[in-house]
Chain A
Amino acid sequence: GDSVTQMEGPVTLSEEAFLTINCTYTATGYPSLFWYVQYPGEGLQLLLKATKADDKGSNKGFEATYRKETTSFHLEKGSVQVSDSAVYFCALGGYSTLTFGKGTMLLVSP
Chain B
Amino acid sequence: KAGVTQTPRYLIKTRGQQVTLSCSPISGHRSVSWYQQTPGQGLQFLFEYFSETQRNKGNFPGRFSGRQFSNSRSEMNVSTLELGDSALYLCASSLEWGRISSGANVLTFGAGSRLTVL
Residues of chain B at the chain A interface (Cβ within 8 Å): 4, 6, 31, 33, 35, 42-43, 45, 48, 50, 55-56, 58, 90, 92, 97-103, 106-112
Contacts and interface: CB of A to CB of B under 8 A. Distances in A.
A82 to B, nearest CB: 22
B67 to A, nearest CB: 17
Residues of B contacting A: mostly: strand
Given A43-B111, A102-B42, A97 B48 contact: yes
Given A96-B55, A100-B43, A45 B109 contact: yes
A89 interface: yes
B42 A100 contact: yes
A49 B107 contact: no
Interface in A16-35: 32-34
13 contacts: A32-B99, A32-B100, A34-B102, A43-B6, A43-B90, A43-B110, A45-B109, A49-B106, A95-B56, A97-B33, A98-B45, A99-B45, A100-B43
